[in-house]
Amino acid sequence: MASSKPETRDLRLQAVGLYFLTLPRPDLRALAEEFGISYDSVWRAVRKGEAILDGRVVGLPSEDEELRRLRAENARLKDKVQALSSTLRVYLAAESEPPEPPSG
């Protein structure tokens, strides 16, 4: 996906800034027309801004999702540690046994 021209990005940021600083909120179509940018571009930018202001950062997992993921990772790592500990105990027990005398 090609990035937008810097001047279009700047105009979009100005339009979104005006939207959030104006009460009552201006019409998005009128705002887009005023700045000479597409309605869809302004609409998406405003929705993204609203999501950020609501504490829902776009593209990042929620705290509940992150907590579930971390708990699953923690359980997986605990299982690995337990398996490695068991293997180490068996290895050390075999190392500490006296060698068998040669037969003959």
Tokens of 29: 């179509």
**Residues 12 and 49 both lie in one domain:** yes
**Residues 32, 13 share a domain:** yes
Q: Is 1 a residue whose pLDDT tops 50?
A: no
Instruction: Specify whether 46 is located in the same domain as 66.
Output: no
Q: Tokens for 78, please give them.
A: 């605990």
- Is residue 66 located within the same domain as residue 88? yes
In a shared domain, residues 43 and 16: yes
Co-location of 47 and 12 in the same domain: yes
Structure tokens at 72: 């699953």
The reported pTM is 0.48
Using CA atoms, how far apart are residues 5 and 93, in angstroms rounded to an integer?
68
Number of domains within the chain: 2
What is the C-alpha to C-alpha distance for residues 12 and 32, in angstroms, rounded to an integer? 8
What pLDDT is stored for residue 58 in this prediction? 55
- Domain span holding position 74: 61-95
The 10s digit of each residue's pLDDT in 41-100 is 999 999 988 888 876 655 666 778 888 999 999 999 999 999 999 999 999 988 887 777
**Residues 95, 99, 100, 104, CA torsion sign:** positive
